[in-house]
Structure 1
Amino acid sequence: MSTPAILLLTFFLVIPVLLAFGLSFTNARLISPNAPRLVGFDNFLRAFEDPVFLQSLWNTFAFALVIVPVQSALGLLLAVLVNQRIRGVFLFRVIYFIPVVTSIVVVSILWKLMYSEDGLINSFINTVTFGAWNGVDWLGEQSTAMPAIIVLSIWQAVGFHMVIWLSGLQTIPGELYEAARVDGASTWRQFTNVTWPGLRPTMIFVLITITIDALRLFVQVDVMTQGGPIDATTTLVYHAVRAGYRQQEVGYGATISLIFFVLVLIIALVQRWLTREKD
């Protein structure tokens, strides 16, 4: 019964990781008349001396440091709101979830048009400021390119985590809230003493999934900025793909991918340790 899953994991996870590990110690190129040769740890030393790699490392972690708390909190807030028993609440659940099922490529193209100098966002700000706004090239400025991608990413993915939080909220027994109200607990006390402790397993899942999704940022950058301006939005995954395929340095691209894999693994293990059950 487990054979199909084992075969899929072997061919699409184990073997690629082993190949990446082997290629990271070579100077292999995508198209080259010369056979690859071993270069030892040269690729790893090159990575940590490469200013673009260091910039992509900083961009990736800065993106994650904003996305993880903001998206988690906003998803929880939306889940609490749509968990209310009011008329039409199902419609709001659908509206918040629509961006999740929309192709991220399509969403990125639409937001790229909105962010342009003559796009919807600048036009709206210019209207509400009665013509005082001169417009900003949101994706063309170093100071605004990454924040623009952060806003898009939160808007697109928050609905998914809202659903996860909502499923956690609906597993909490209603009797606990009734007992809290009988004891005179305020709404905030009910949240801190009943809701939040009951959401602990959900919280662990949400934090880990958001962190991994944030660290592997690629599509938005590839569609909207191609890493620019001046590598202000280059991430580790984008840099690895660009080095391995566009610059055809497969060995160096595999090295970046391996470093990324180790970093994500360490972060996930640290998160799991910090959120473990403490007796």
Structure 2
Amino acid sequence: MDNIIFSSGRLQPPMPRQPKPSRSPESVSLIKTFLRALPKGEEDWDDKAPRTQEQIEQLRLDLTLSKLVREGRAKMKPKALLQSFAEEHAALLRNLESQIHSFVFIALGDVAIKSDLPVREVDEMTMAYTGAQRSAVRTLRLGVRRWIKASDTLRQSWLPRADELPLRRRSFVHIMKKIPDEDIGILREMTVEGDQAVLADVKVYIPKKQLPSSSLRIPNIIYELHGGKLSLVDIERHLAVPTASNARVGDDDDDSTNHNMMQVMEGFVVATREPVRK
């Protein structure tokens, strides 16, 4: 027994839980306003196309310019790709008629800027095809980046069909611009009770019918538009979307802007070969 060495046997104290970050009352109020605009029931989620897997796939093909061969898109320069998308969907971009097409166009321009296309050229093309004022274009880009973060948060937590929201509801994405990145995480902290997600006095319906609409995730659409020339990780980095290296929503900072998003975006809401990030 004398030769047996005993360890101290002391129990290690439990690691303290990280407290939830404090949320500003203004951000909570904005999130509630956003949530109240979401579809109220199963009929609201199914009141317009796409209603089927086939329709989702057709929309994805439409958004990714599938008429052009993938290898051809991969060889296109950023300006030519942006121009091709704008010309193909000109009627849907004018006055931001189709919210999802407009979101993809804005995001495609944002990635083009990160790929060294001059901001001035992207701004001029955006103004020409959407009718937005020059002072509003930067705000549109910020709104799209914030929406991508919000939709990722929703999809990963309690709303798998979040990527359909630009098709289902209007006039709410302007709120995203006003919410600090770190407070978008409020959406992840909601309590799920049966077929509802709850934030204080606000209850949001979670649809029972499931569609494979995560293929409409904007960064994945941008990846496919480029024909795989850019990696999904690079595209997410260009759009300031969290990846494995900056994992949590809200970790990166966007420049703020003083433009009124309501004026800019009134009426405007917003299958790849790499996996959809969940």
Q: What TM bracket, shorter-length normalisation?
A: under 0.3
Name whichever structure is richer in helix by fraction.
Answer: 1
Structure number with larger C-alpha Rg: 1
TM-score (structure 2 length as normaliser): 0.27
